[in-house]
Amino acid sequence: MTGQSEQSETPAPASRDRLDRRARVEEFVRTNPKWYASSFEEIGDKAGFHPTFNWAAGLFGPIWFGARGLWKWALPFLVVETVAFVYLARGLFGDLAADARTRIASIEGTLDLRRRQLEAAIESGSEKVAVYQRAVDSLEGAIGGIRAEAQRLEDQAIWIALSGLVLLLLIKLVQAVVANTALEARFSQWLSDPGVPSGLPVQQIVVSAVFMILIVGAATLNYSYPGQFDLLSVFPTDPDIRLVSIAGVESFFEAAVKHGETLFDMITLGIRLILDALELTFVQTPWIVIATFIVLLTWLSAGVRTAIFTGAFLAYMGLLGFWVKAMTTLALLGTAACLSIAIGIPLGMFCARRPRLYAVIQPIMDFMQTMPAFVFMIPVIAFFGTGKPAAVVTTMIFGGTPVVRLTVLGLRGVPESVREAAISFGAGKWYLLTRVDLPLAAPSIRAGINQTIMLSLAMVVVASLIGAKGLGEDVLEALQYANVGQGILAGFSILFCAMILDRIVQGARK
């Protein structure tokens, strides 16, 4: 009898699991745990979406979602609620005819001037009476149309308010229905990762409430009463801040140019040596030698079919008179690409095993790749002047980052098991780098080289603005003088250069 009573008092495994889950729900939600536990059980027992109703989420809306840490739900709901409140406030309290009155006031000043001119013309018997009369009639008609438009807007105020109210009620209903499902998904994440925020901390409530009220209030006031709150429409600033900043930047660059003249001259000399050598090779060498070499290289790299297309592309550039400029472009591109690769691959190798250094360099590369080319051309001109060396530096800044990124990516993608196996067999650092890491990372590094070449070629037209010459110069002239034919033909030449280089590099990669 005792054993039977003890057995009857022991909860079944399913009941134990249910009690344990309820305890976990209570620990997660902290408020109204029994109701949330039953709601979570309903949602978990049903396949697909199971609607439940959470009045707190419907009432407080985005504030509730933000306080619960469900920001990916809170922000879209906040946008919709803000639109609803703006419509509601504009319809009930907004000055819908404010813009119309401003336009009427500006037109009335001109109308008054034309009326005085008309009166003077009538008194003097001028021939311009008809002209002034037409101007007055036109302005009066415009004012009448604007007033009619303002009246229509004022008549629509009640419908604007009703549409805002309907939208607000609908979004409140949606929030109330999806709230428990979103919170249950967050609870499932919390079970596997206790670091997920849980409960309803006061700090989270305050941050969410202040953020939502600020956004809704500012948007509602700005759209309901346009132009009446300068703080909402104009950023508070002082013109002297901009002027002082400009003066500071100019002073910095003047000092850098003054104290770094020797360094910049040495860099320019190095670029000029490589550029002159490549121009001598591509431009001064007989065209038949260069064309044959490029076709042969394409054939060895990418096959016979690609070599035939390459020959056709080269014939196109030669027959249309773009050969010299195309070779000048290739020399400029080759200089920029060679320097970018010579700097980028060793830098990527050095950063691959040094995460802290790469974390410092990565924002610099983001800046180089996202800053518009016309912006960083300004300091380049200040340091290097105009001409081909400045164009090479500009091209390197824009196109040099992919080879670094993809070198780091390729070396970090080498399996650790392969490296450990090589080390266990006595491989030193140099052997590990040259015989294990670089061969396995070679596809990624070649992809980086290809991307660097393509991005460098994309700078051909932009670099022509600072004296790069080549095919970009023809495109620039076509833009200046609206010469459609020249621009299209030169553009195809740039395209064919890109295709030839891409096929050579991609063929070697394969």
Torsion of CA 385, 389, 393, 396, to 10 degrees: 160
For residue 250, is it within any domain?
A: no
Q: Percent helix, strand, coil in the chain (nearest 5)?
A: 85, 0, 15
Would you call 386 helix, strand, or coil by DSSP? coil
- Average pLDDT (331-347) is 87
With 90 as the cut, is the pLDDT of residue 240 above it?
A: no
Same structural domain, 77 and 131: no
Contacts of 101 (CB under 8 A, 6+ apart): 150
Same structural domain, 170 and 130: no
Would you call 298 helix, strand, or coil by DSSP? helix
For residue 251, is it within any domain?
A: no
Same structural domain, 38 and 60: yes
Same structural domain, 228 and 144: no
pLDDT at 227: 66
> What is the rounded distance in angstroms from the CA atom of residue 412 to the CA atom of residue 491?
38
DSSP 283: I
Q: What average pLDDT is seen over the chain?
A: 82
For residue 406, is it within any domain?
A: yes
Q: Residue 95 — very low, low, confident or very high, per pLDDT cuts 50/70/90?
A: low
Contacts of 88 (CB under 8 A, 6+ apart): 161, 164, 165, 168
With 90 as the cut, is the pLDDT of residue 368 above it?
A: no
For residue 249, is it within any domain?
A: no
CATH code of the domain in which 456 resides? 1.10.3720.10
- Average pLDDT (382-389) is 83
Evaluate whether 299 touches 309 at the Cβ level (below 8 Å): no
With 80 as the cut, is the pLDDT of residue 231 above it?
A: no
Same structural domain, 65 and 103: no
Radius of gyration of the chain (CA): 36
Q: Which position has the token pair 């922000």?
A: 75
With 50 as the cut, is the pLDDT of residue 501 above it?
A: yes
Same structural domain, 363 and 470: yes
Same structural domain, 104 and 87: no
pLDDT digits (tens, 9 = 90+) for 140-177: 888 788 777 777 767 777 888 888 899 999 999 999 99
HSE-CB of 463 using CA atoms within 13 angstroms: 29
Q: How many domains is the chain built from?
A: 3
Domain end, chosen from 155, 184, 203, is at 155
Query: Between the ranges 141-145, 291-295, 423-427, 455-459, where is the mean pLDDT highest?
Result: 291-295
With 70 as the cut, is the pLDDT of residue 272 above it?
A: yes
Strands (E), 213-268: none
> What is the rounded distance in angstroms from the CA atom of residue 372 to the CA atom of residue 462?
11
- Average pLDDT (193-208) is 84
- Average pLDDT (457-478) is 80
248 vs 148, higher pLDDT: 248
* Whole-number percent of the chain with pLDDT over 70: 93
Domain end, chosen from 233, 267, 290, is at 233
Q: CB-based burial of residue 13 (10 Å sphere; 0-12 exposed, 13-18 middle, 19+ buried)? A: exposed
pLDDT at 166: 92
310-328 burial: b if 16+ Cβ within 10 Å, else e: bbebbebbeeeebbebbbb
Q: Residue 16 — very low, low, confident or very high, per pLDDT cuts 50/70/90?
A: low
Q: Residue 235 — very low, low, confident or very high, per pLDDT cuts 50/70/90?
A: confident
For residue 244, is it within any domain?
A: no
pLDDT at 14: 54
Same structural domain, 355 and 412: yes
Could you tell me the residue range of the domain that residue 325 belongs to? 256-509
Q: pTM, whole model, 2 decimals?
A: 0.67
With 70 as the cut, is the pLDDT of residue 298 above it?
A: yes
Same structural domain, 168 and 210: yes
Same structural domain, 262 and 320: yes
Domain end, chosen from 177, 199, 233, is at 233
Same structural domain, 189 and 269: no
222 vs 349, higher pLDDT: 349
Same structural domain, 323 and 176: no
